[in-house]
Amino acid sequence: MERTNEQWLAHLDDGSLHQAEAIEDLRQYLQRAVMVYLRSRSDLSHLAESELQHMGQDYVQDALLKIRTGLDSFRGKSKFTTWAAKIAANHTISELRRARWRDLSLDAITETGTSLQEVLAFDSGPGSNPDSESERRHVWQAITQVVNHDLTDRQRQVLMAVRIDDIPMAEVARLLDTNINNIYKLLHDARLKLKRGLQQLGWDPAYILRLFSEDE
């Protein structure tokens, strides 16, 4: 499966004679990574291995479609497989969140929801940059500090639910027994406080955005 970034892009192209082989190699690579993650989650420990395998196959299939349709967005700043694994990781975590919020209260979600730490851990691998990962964890500590100390309980709930757990705004409004306009306002105020709090701690928001996208 050893390929350069250029070879991956060429082999995955619709006109390539190597496309089928490249897709299968990438599928197997992502399947291994996704299964390691699914088996590590305590909230999935009640599922049989066959159920986890089926779940993993679905997530990988969806991720492969996203990867193939988004090849033009690959910037070559990391190994292609690292970039692809990040897409699979984000999709897997997002799907697990969506399955969970349907059956839990908002309080339960915001108390136990998947954090960015989980995304970072899943993204770590042979092609990862240790310095970048360390810097990202420092940033996340700063974000957590601001979220826990500067935001109101309501602002924190909305920010975590919408931006971290991917709950639709309409569903957040229903869970909080309010209207969607109020959710927009709470989210807007929370983001302003987060931006100001990070700036006071010496973190530039533009730098943070670059830091979390530099592996693409």
Contact 139, 211 (CB under 8 A): yes
Distance CA 108, CA 105 (A): 5
The first and second tokens of residue 9, run together, are: 């892009």
- Residue 152 CA to its chain's centroid (Å): 25
Residue in 91, 94, 93, 14 with CA at minimum distance from that of residue 60: 91
Q: Which pLDDT score, from 0 to 100, does residue 101 have?
A: 56
Distance CA 196, CA 175 (A): 28
> 3-state DSSP call for residue 185?
helix
pLDDT, tens digit, for every residue of 160-193? 888 776 778 888 898 888 999 999 999 899 888 8
Its pTM surpasses 0.75: no
Residue in 188, 197, 192, 195 with CA at minimum distance from that of residue 209: 195
Distance CA 190, CA 171 (A): 18
Q: Which pLDDT score, from 0 to 100, does residue 204 have?
A: 78
Q: Which pLDDT score, from 0 to 100, does residue 67 have?
A: 95
Give me the domains of the chain, ranges plus CATH numbers: 1-103 (1.10.1740.10), 106-216 (1.10.10.10)
Angle, alpha carbons 36-39-41 (nearest 5°): 115
Q: Splitting the chain (216 residues) into consecutive groups of 10 residues, what average pLDDT does each group show? A: 90 92 95 91 87 94 94 90 91 78 47 43 50 71 83 87 78 88 92 86 74 55
